[in-house]
Structure 1
Amino acid sequence: MIRTQHRIAAIAAGTVLAVALAGCTSAVQQAGAGSATGKPVNGGTLQIVQAADIQPASFFSQNNPNFSVLRTVFNSLVSYDHKDIKPQPELAKSWKVSPDGRQITFSLRDDVTFHDGRAMTADDVIASINTVKRPEVGSQTKHIANAITDMTAPDPHTVVITFDKAMSNMMDLFLMMPIIDGTDVAGLLSGKNMNGTGPFTVKSYSPGQGIDLVKYEKYWKKDLPHLDGVKITVVRDSQSMLSSLKAGQSQLAMDLAPLDASTLKGQAGYDLIESDAHDSVQYIASNVTVPLLSDKRVRQAMSYAIDRERILKQVDGGIGSVTSLPWAKSSPAYDSTKVDHFARDIAKAKDLLNQAGATGKSVKIFYDAGFQPNVGIASIVQFDLTEAGLKPELVPLQASDFLDRLRNGGFDGMFLSGHGFGQLNPATLIKGSFPFNADKNASSFVSDDYKALANEVWLSSGALSKSTLDKVNDYLLDQQFVSDLVLSTHTFAISSKLKGVDETMLDYIDLDQAYLTK
């Protein structure tokens, strides 16, 4: 899971873009690898390097820097099968949904303890959901949590959750939400007390530098984990991370720049493991309250002008595929006949700009300049929009400033980033993802028609109909407040000494079965 392409994208949109390199094995395939003796080598400390520090205040949203800790320190109620995206037991051993779809009853495991030794109970599940509901806590599944009208705990290992309506993506909340220690939520969000139920417990955390984890001896999965510990170090320069991996100082590198990751391809002693979520999409979006960008013809023109193939080749190393839609290929909303809708057509772009009276107008393009691929994409977009007849001005920002504006609609122009959630229920993307949220999004795009479509998907019972998803796709293509560019996937760059690495369908690293060989 090298989160290679847009560090800030993941912070905001729930994912970051990365290169899926040819010749990679899947995490599931690699997880089954064994040592020369066929037995895991226990002990040892896994050294991980990543580009950004963890952010405990954002543990309830899909934030890229947290991918190394959300499944190592915590667990969720359910996991998803990677083949059919069906929920599987984790902290919840079973569940039952009422006939009307408005109530779910979870039966919890009775052998789970937090790292401080306290037993996990239904009260902790309720506290976790209430944390998601907090206005100041970001979560792409908040719309699901806010639909909950009642929560009860008939006994310590049963929780009954009632919603005001049935919805198609209810289980996505229970996949994404870590179960936290309900007695100290403030300590968790401040990073002072990360008390989870996962395979590793926090030994020490130095903000801006890294975090040390040690094996939790009473982990509820018998005889796991194999590793004694995990040390995560923040190394903000991709080349330095690559050097660390090659020198044997680390065994897993996250957030490598795509071209740095590509240098490992085929090299003995390293593995590049491709995530099978295929949920990373690069995009450029428009603040539609800016007069120039309020005209959808201008937004369409810019989408036609951008050379997606060039971005794929020069920034992504040719790995991935161009797209005009936000969905992973596994999504029921994916439509192969529409993904090339905005294939580059500079003549059509110029014509649309002329129709809108926009030729020669200036437009700002904001991006996080702290990660080199963003710089490359911004440069290509600037060239393409200039050729179409606009006057684009690049505005590089620091990551924190970019994130703040992304969350609060503070761009007076266009902005480059990335998003995920295309691999989950389509309702989660159009009701929760920051770029697409029909209720409030980073583009300040407000439309009763869009809200109605989003609710039609969200409140659908049973399988989503093709006609409904067609309407959503056609609407997104027509409005173009978000222009998707390249569909990619996450990868891990690891030493071949590291075995058993896996991942969740949210691309959180799973080290339950991981071990080091000599």
Structure 2
Amino acid sequence: MNQQLVHRRTAALAGAALLAGALMGCGASASAGPGGGTVTILQSADIAPTTFLSQNNPNFAIIRTVFNTLTTYDRKTLQPQPELATSWQQSSDKKSITLHLRDGVTFHSGREFTADDVLFTLKAVQRKDVSSQLKHVAAAITGMKATDAHTVTLTLQQPVSNLFDLFELMPIVDQATFDDLLKGRRFVGTGPFTVDSYTPGVGVKLKKNPHYWKTGLPHLDGVNIEVQSQSQSMLSSLRSGQSEVGLDLAPLDTAVLRGDPAFRVIASEADDATYYVASNVKLKPLDDVRVRQGIAWAIDRQRILDQALAGIGRTSSLPWSESSPAFDPAKAGTYHQDIGKARQLIAAAGAVGKPVNVAFNSGFLTNQTIAEIVQFGLKNAGLDPKLVPLQAADFFAKLGNGNLPGLYVNVHGFGQLSPATLVKGAFPFNAKKNASNFDSPEYRAVADQLWSANDPAAYGRANDFLLENQFVSDLVVSAHTFTVSSRLKNLDYTMYDYIDLDDAYLTD
């Protein structure tokens, strides 16, 4: 990692520390804890077994508690660190890599973890029926072989800049039970906890894995992951002591607890929750880039940050976290509210008074608040915006097939690591196929350039293209939050926000 990025990353972490407070709490070490006990984690949606090989928010609490990945990024240096892979060597042309795997690891079934399990998982990501935003990386692997039980060599069709993003995102699954995993019937991993029971729509009960490969861990006896759709109900449960962790409470609810010594509000250092408004460019007047630019100038990003997100994050016109090598502070502030510019562009496109739908997931209050602020700005800019609340299932179905009825408000990730992962995999930005139906040979070329090399010139080209075309207008780069009882020590998480409870313990 270049020195400039290290300095920038250090500054970003310092800011996050001021917001979030001490992550580990009281300076306690794992060995100081008494161990035992069961932690209850609340989240707003049920886990999604069919998307276990993707980054999907409802799975944040179960991926790293039940499974392990090949590598894990150090959050301060962003360098990959060993997990199930203990070391690796890449060829000088970056077209092959040899991974040395950890010995003495067993699945919850008692079967030994071997190189064949890595090959199986990679091939699973390549399958057409398996969902993964990193499928493009797996597809670039043209050869894979196990040279012995604990060594894997992969050959790639070209150098790729986000290979370790795949290794971090992808939990290693049990080939004997993988199809049952996708159906939510069996969850067999190598992680610190085993699945005791799963009740769809209700939650998952985990118990300690006595044969975990990290000696002496975990400390906890178990973890309950419970579905609670209302943020206010999560807040009540936390305050009453019925639960210890709330995932992504509504920002205004997290603000209520931020000064309470009984809790810590941890804003993820990944900063990978970026709120945006995007356009279905097949629909008029959103097919005109001048209208899309006018919309970008019409929106009050600061109001969104203050009123919808309780100040968690920063306004931005670009999708990147400050940890990304593509982050450019000079360009991140390109768009801000300027109603005069917005009116001028919309008038030049002949769109004054034109109706525009603004769709959002009605089950997520934060997005509703953002949609209302967007609507107010568009009215002032000369458009005729109409809010279109959609049930979650309907919203995401339309998002997936590109049929949203105009503008749409949502949140995306993948801005924190390799820029290629966003432009090749994140659905709002995927250069091959995206939710906005935006298609451009130039954009595909930009995405391929980012993918083949970490080239600073490519970062600038990508930023300029995204700022010019505005098929996605980024508004605020925010963070997933973990609202944690002070009784729970040593909660950790990965750069993909998978919760890590290896060292966690409860105090009285």
TM tier relative to shorter chain: over 0.9
Gaps of 5+ in 1: 1-19
- Partner residue in 2 for 1:488: 478
SS at match of 2:68: coil
- Partner residue in 2 for 1:11: none
Please point out which of 421, 441, 445 is paired with 1:448.
441
Structure 1 pair 130–417 and aligned structure 2 pair: CA distance change class (3 A): same
SS at match of 1:205: strand
Quote the offset at 1:490 in angstroms. 2.1
- Partner residue in 1 for 2:345: 352
Q: How does 1:57-68 map to 2 (within 5 A)?
A: 57-68=50-61
Please point out which of 9, 19, 24 is paired with 2:20.
24
Instruction: State the alpha-carbon separation in 2 of the partners of residues 412 and 47 from structure 1.
Output: 39
SS at match of 1:331: coil
Instruction: State the alpha-carbon separation in 1 of the partners of residues 257 and 287 from structure 2.
Output: 44
SS at match of 1:380: helix
Letter in structure 2 aligned against 1:499? K
Instruction: State the alpha-carbon separation in 2 of the partners of residues 375 and 26 from structure 1.
Output: 31
- Partner residue in 2 for 1:107: 100
Structure 1 pair 21–485 and aligned structure 2 pair: CA distance change class (3 A): farther
- Partner residue in 2 for 1:10: none
Is 1:474 matched with 2:427? no
| Aligned structure 1 segments of 4 or more residues deviating by more than 3 angstroms | 20-23, 29-32
Quote the offset at 1:253 in angstroms. 1.1
More displaced 10-residue stretch of structure 1: 163-172 or 199-208: 163-172
After superposition, the C-alpha distances for 1:148-207 in whole angstroms (9 at most, x for unaligned) are: 111111222111111111111111111101100012221110111110010000000000
Q: How many residues align?
A: 494
Is 1:273 matched with 2:263? no
After superposition, the C-alpha distances for 1:410-463 in whole angstroms (9 at most, x for unaligned) are: 113111111111111111111111111111111111100001111111111xxx
TM-score of the two chains, using structure 2 as the length reference? 0.95
Instruction: State the alpha-carbon separation in 2 of the partners of residues 482 and 228 from structure 1.
Output: 45
Instruction: State the alpha-carbon separation in 2 of the partners of residues 26 and 246 from structure 1.
Output: 20
Is 1:199 matched with 2:192? yes
Instruction: State the alpha-carbon separation in 2 of the partners of residues 240 and 219 from structure 1.
Output: 34
Q: How does 1:235-246 map to 2 (within 5 A)?
A: 235-246=228-239
- Partner residue in 1 for 2:5: none
Instruction: State the alpha-carbon separation in 2 of the partners of residues 285 and 26 from structure 1.
Output: 35
- Partner residue in 2 for 1:8: none
- Which structure's relative contact order is higher, taking Cα pairs within 8 Å and 6+ residues apart? 1
CA contact (8 A) 2:248 2:480 kept: no
- Partner residue in 1 for 2:112: 119
Quote the offset at 1:255 in angstroms. 2.6
Identity %: 53
SS at match of 1:69: helix
- Partner residue in 2 for 1:515: 505
CA contact (8 A) 1:21 1:262 kept: no
CA contact (8 A) 1:76 1:91 kept: yes
Quote the offset at 1:64 in angstroms. 0.6
Instruction: State the alpha-carbon separation in 2 of the partners of residues 149 and 501 from structure 1.
Output: 38
CA contact (8 A) 1:31 1:500 kept: no
- Partner residue in 2 for 1:296: 289
Instruction: State the alpha-carbon separation in 1 of the partners of residues 403 and 105 from structure 2.
Output: 43
Instruction: State the alpha-carbon separation in 1 of the partners of residues 243 and 132 from structure 2.
Output: 31
Is 1:160 matched with 2:150? no
Please point out which of 497, 503, 509 is paired with 2:487.
497
TM-score of the two chains, using structure 1 as the length reference? 0.93
**More helix as a share of residues:** 2
Instruction: State the alpha-carbon separation in 1 of the partners of residues 192 and 462 from structure 2.
Output: 41
Please point out which of 301, 315, 321 is paired with 1:322.
315
- Partner residue in 1 for 2:28: 33
Please point out which of 415, 428, 433 is paired with 2:426.
433
Instruction: State the alpha-carbon separation in 2 of the partners of residues 87 and 103 from structure 1.
Output: 17
Letter in structure 2 aligned against 1:480? Q
CA contact (8 A) 1:370 1:399 kept: yes
More displaced 10-residue stretch of structure 1: 442-451 or 399-408: 399-408
Structure 1 pair 98–23 and aligned structure 2 pair: CA distance change class (3 A): closer
After superposition, the C-alpha distances for 1:50-107 in whole angstroms (9 at most, x for unaligned) are: 1111011111111111100010000000000111211111000111112221111111
Cα RMSD between the aligned structures? Answer: 1.5
Instruction: State the alpha-carbon separation in 1 of the partners of residues 194 and 284 from structure 2.
Output: 51
Instruction: State the alpha-carbon separation in 1 of the partners of residues 365 and 293 from structure 2.
Output: 27
Quote the offset at 1:223 in angstroms. 0.4
Is 1:189 matched with 2:179? no
CA contact (8 A) 1:45 1:229 kept: yes
More displaced 10-residue stretch of structure 1: 231-240 or 217-226: 231-240
- Partner residue in 1 for 2:10: none
Quote the offset at 1:31 in angstroms. 9.0
Is 1:385 matched with 2:378? yes
Quote the offset at 1:385 in angstroms. 0.5
Letter in structure 2 aligned against 1:24? A
After superposition, the C-alpha distances for 1:396-423 in whole angstroms (9 at most, x for unaligned) are: 1111111111122111311111111111
SS at match of 2:389: strand
Quote the offset at 1:32 in angstroms. 4.9
Q: How does 1:41-190 map to 2 (within 5 A)?
A: 41-190=34-183
Instruction: State the alpha-carbon separation in 1 of the partners of residues 499 and 123 from structure 2.
Output: 25
Instruction: State the alpha-carbon separation in 2 of the partners of residues 22 and 90 from structure 1.
Output: 29
Structure 1 pair 22–100 and aligned structure 2 pair: CA distance change class (3 A): closer
